[in-house]
Amino acid sequence: MTHTATSEPASARDDILAGRTCLGIEFGSTRIKACLVGSDPADVIATGSHAWENRFEDRRWTYALDDVWSGVQAAYADLVAAVADRYGVVPETVGAIGVSAMMHGYLAFDADDELLVPFRTWRNTSTGPAAAELSDLLGINIPMRWSIAHLHQAVLDDEPHVADIHHVTTLAGYVHARLTGERVLGVGDASGMFPIDPVTRDYDQRRVGLYDDHVAGRLPTGLRALLPEVRVAGQVAGSLTEAGARLLDPTGRLRAGAPFCPPEGDAGTGMVATAAVAPRSGNVSAGTSIFAMVVLERPLESMHHEIDVVTTPAGDLVAMVHCNNGASELAAWVGMFERFASLSGAALSADAVYDLLFREALAGEPDAGGLLAYNHLAGEPITGTDEGRPLFVRTPDSRLTLGNAIRAQLYGVFGTLALGMRVLDGEGVELDRMFAHGGMFRTAGVAQRFLAAALGAPVAVGETASEGGAWGIAVLADYLAHSADLDLDAYLRERVFAAASADVAEPDPADVAGFATYLERYDAGLAVERAAVTALS
């Protein structure tokens, strides 16, 4: 558990007592996190968290819904304990609330709000036939993890539950509905369910019609009736009900009534957390998955299977390069060294091990000495694999040193992402600066430097880099009170990030050349990864 506080105790205590706070809740892939900000949204009063893990059951990645509620209650209780410990008060109300969660996936309910099949997360890659068919039908790339791909695959497979579907949603939409009674979704998260029309900032009605005609008679109703209503940043999307308050805080202290901003996906809240919502800006979010978001000046000229077209929380078009596999394999390696340190009698925390190993990576060769690391715990659509097989590969003449090994693992986190970003280069998409956030950027100047080399662009990391989406959705909750006067980009620049500092890493020429060599080998070596999937079933 982590508790973070940046605000002065007296002013924060006044904000808490007066309800001038905003609460952000995020369901990440490994942690559920709660973040409380004060009347200045740049001020983090406290955070709380709870660890959870996905499960691989019946060959599908899932989370149990009971774990959603026990986890969020634990994270909120952890936050309350942090507030009480630092400020001597317990929150009884907040000014506004927001919910963020992993995008995409499939949660299907009947008319009684009963879950029809276990939650199917973004990590599943069993929807290939549906995704390909829909991409051809709709004339836009429909990735395998999108909600419409999951729904259509269930239709293609004649799954019995299809006849009983009353509504489908994402994880953020589900939690929001239970807390507010409103079946709505922020436009950014909705853009990972079905394509969005950038003019109406709602589902693309022409494509909805195409889909309805395509599946006529195979769904209980038209697609539009199954999907959540769409809201954009700054619009009120309901308020905390009595039942919702008890779900979040079983102690009964938290009062009902706080307004909610639209629930968003982790991609959108990551953009907010890095102030990357204007054209020519972008961000990289690194966690269990890794993805890059680049806000477009104009629509892409062609369809690319490597690129999702989604939106910012305000509804502006974004090119998204999403990789199913991020820093989990790296974390497993760090855990192995943490155990070694413990056995040696020099026990170190995980953060200390990360710091030592990352700094040793700086001593590695620019191309990682000929070593290759594939972080594929799950299938990776960009590289054409349905399942994951993590690999560490070397040739007899490669240089196996600790620095090279860790550099290879870090490069491996960015490998598939770099392949996808090449496509945007070919489209002429211009980028002024990338912002990065996620826990792996806490060790200053290492992962950030290697990412700059992988992208060939400056990479900025701000003070909130490790807070991520929980803080981002708290900021969107605060935006409710300011949206009448400022658009989202102006609000972030003027109210949230005006005094913020960021560390910027420029691409190092030696690293850029070294990563290019690594990526060439990485691309060629994908044949080994595909063979491993076939051979090691």
| Residue that has been written with the tokens 């409103």 in this structure | 182
Q: Give the rounded percent of residues in the chain with a pLDDT score beyond 70.
A: 97
Residue 495, classified by CB atoms within 10 Å of its CB into exposed (0-12), middle (13-18) or buried (19+), is middle
Pairing relation of β-strands 22-27 and 31-37?
antiparallel
Summarize pLDDT for 131-169 with one digit per residue, the tens: 999 999 999 999 999 999 999 999 999 999 999 999 999
Q: Enter the DSSP assignment of 115.
A: B
Distance, CA of 132 to CA of 125 (rounded, Å): 12
- Average pLDDT, rounded, for the chain: 94
257: left (phi over 0), alpha (psi -120 to 50) or beta: left
pTM: 0.84
pLDDT of residue 464: 55
- Residue 97: pLDDT over 60: yes
Does residue 528 contact residue 352 with C-beta atoms inside 8 Å? no
> For the residues 201-223, what does the mean pLDDT come to?
97
Question: Using 50, 70 and 90 to split pLDDT, how confident is the model at 5?
Answer: low
The pLDDT tens digits of the residues spanning 296-322 come to 998 998 899 889 999 999 999 999 998
pLDDT tens per residue across span 16-61: 999 999 999 999 988 999 999 999 999 899 999 999 999 999 889 9
2 has pLDDT over 90: no
The one-letter amino acid code at 23 reads L
| Confidence label for 125 from pLDDT (cuts 50, 70 and 90) | confident
Q: How is residue 262 written in tokens?
A: 């639209």
pLDDT beyond 90 at 465: no
Q: Where are the beta strands (DSSP E) in 148-248?
A: 167-169, 184-186, 196-197, 202-203, 229-231
* Residue ranges per structural domain of the chain: 328-420+509-535
| Mean pLDDT calculated for residue range 431-442 | 85
Residue 3 is predicted with a pLDDT of 39
Q: Kindly state the average pLDDT of the residues 123-134.
A: 93
Q: What's residue 501's pLDDT?
A: 81
Indicate whether 1 pLDDT > 70. no
Name 292's bridge partners. Answer: 284, 321
Both tokens assigned to 418: 């770099």
Q: 3-class SS at 461?
A: strand
Phi-psi label, residue 201: left if phi above 0, alpha if psi -120 to 50, beta otherwise = left
Supply the pLDDT for residue 469: 86
Looking at per-residue confidence, does 445 or 45 come out higher? 45
More confident residue, 530 or 274: 530
